[in-house]
Structure 1
């Protein structure tokens, strides 16, 4: 088979792929689909995934077809290499778009995939085999750049979220420090009041103890005085009894003798 025939065969195969691709795109962007999925971040991400799937499938089919051609022209060999590179970029785009659509920060931060989506749509319009290699290389670079920009945009969003989180942490730290200082002051005040109360109680106990000691000393002195008075009275009575006995004993003896 001559090279021109191989090129003609490749062109026909490419046209069939583009026909299938156009059908898929028409279904993807039909009025019913647009009505069911109004423009939004999630819709852009879903559309991007759909286009990436179509382009990825087309590039894989072309790569498989070109790889089977023996003695392929130089342009087709170069195109096969570019197709591998483009397929890799498309795979990255599909993964990024899926994660982008599932991310909770995309809608909040109003991130957009319009540039990447427009680039993929522009890639669909190319249908000239003779410019395939140049277009694939150009589209690969543009897609890679757009993907990098989207990644940078996402990094900015993450940094914003990190800054907000850090501000919240700093605010909580300041609030916690203030609450700790207030609590520590209250504890110190309560400890001081408790210490003063304990000191007052100790002074009262010592004062009561001194009073009790003085009371006991006074009671002892009173008891000693009473006992002394009792002893003195007892001795006085004893002396009186002795004196009385000595006075009446002779008379009693005399009386007894007379009676006898």
Structure 2
């Protein structure tokens, strides 16, 4: 099972998630890197996990402040060959497209071609907590962006900005089972929610878990549920995982 490291951005810094309570997030203190600088932290997370994918939560955008367009542009340029999964609180396709265009413009300002083939690829993550237009996923798919759906949960309940079809017929090929109150909790992964979604998903769906991983025993338990990958941050920062070969769980 793959470990996908997570980068939470707020006010220009990397912060540590605490049970999804965003008012409690503070600049990261990590055993991997002596800074909260986004690029240095991203590189440290990728190195320690062995991953080629980095999940980014732009909390400035999610909290309806301002997105980290310049920071995201710098990450794209500096991390060639990496796939960046970006959750920026997208409500619809238009809001996603607008941020992607801002990122491209920021890249171009520094004399890099916005569509540079050596840049990290950018994949939109649409979270149920903020998604208002379910057609956004189909539109992004037709645009060749391979969108990801994050089904956001708190206390076992789905968080949804609009009424959702409770079947899996509208899900894209990649879906994240996000349990916000497990994030940064060291309480273990919410396997019950994951297994419920796994039973609901179509056979072709790639289901990814998020939150609560403390150690390799947790990774093994998560892998046993059929998870293809799990989003992890705190256990990596605290050196509780030794997973330079991220597919070995």
The two structures share one fold, judged by TM-score above 0.5: no
Q: TM-score, normalised by structure 2?
A: 0.19
Q: TM-score, normalised by structure 1?
A: 0.18
Higher RCO, Cα 8 Å, sep 6+: 2
Which has the larger share of strand? 2
Which has the larger share of helix? 1
